[in-house]
Amino acid sequence: MTEIDLKNPLSNEFKVAVEIYRFEEKGELVWHNKLVDSLQGILSKNTISNAINTLFEWGIVKAEYGETEKGRAGKLLSISNEAGPIIKELYLRYWKEFRR
């Protein structure tokens, strides 16, 4: 178990959501493989994929196709406007200190 697992009450879905928010806060684009790399050692690739699907169903995450940093087309992920305030609160309360 990592330090995040021991001290963090967020579900896997919300860990993915706040990580997407973290990238947005820095003004960076985010896509699936970037999340997998970023959350390596915290969540598995399969867990991240399942969490993204659930977040889509809940209306927390939205996606549009665009260019990734390597110039390839990809599905860019972002937090929906409606979910923004709650995800921001979760990020500030439970995630920011762990993921500087």
State residue 99's pLDDT score: 72
Our CA dihedral for 87, 83, 38, 26, rounded to 10 degrees, sits at -80
9-41 pLDDT, tens digit per residue, is 899 999 999 999 999 999 999 999 999 999 999
Q: What is the DSSP string of 66-89?
A: EE-TTS-EEEEEEE-TTTHHHHHH
For residue 100, being part of any structural domain is answered with no
Q: Which CATH number fits the domain that encloses residue 67?
A: 1.10.10.10
Output DSSP code: residue 54.
H
Task: For residue range 66-96, list pLDDT tens digits in order.
Answer: 999 888 999 999 999 999 999 999 999 999 8
Domain count for the chain: 1
Biggest CA–CA distance in the chain, Å, is 38
Q: Residue 98: pLDDT band by 50, 70, 90 thresholds?
A: confident
The answer, yes or no, to whether residue 5 has pLDDT greater than 70, is no
Cα–Cα dist 96/80, whole Å: 19
Q: Is residue 67 part of a domain?
A: yes
pLDDT of residue 3: 47
Sign of CA dihedral 41, 35, 12, 6: positive
Give the pLDDT band (50/70/90) at residue 100.
Answer: low
- For residue 4, is pLDDT > 80? no
Q: Which pTM was predicted?
A: 0.89
Domain span at 12:
3-95
Look at residue 37 and tell me if it is in a domain: yes
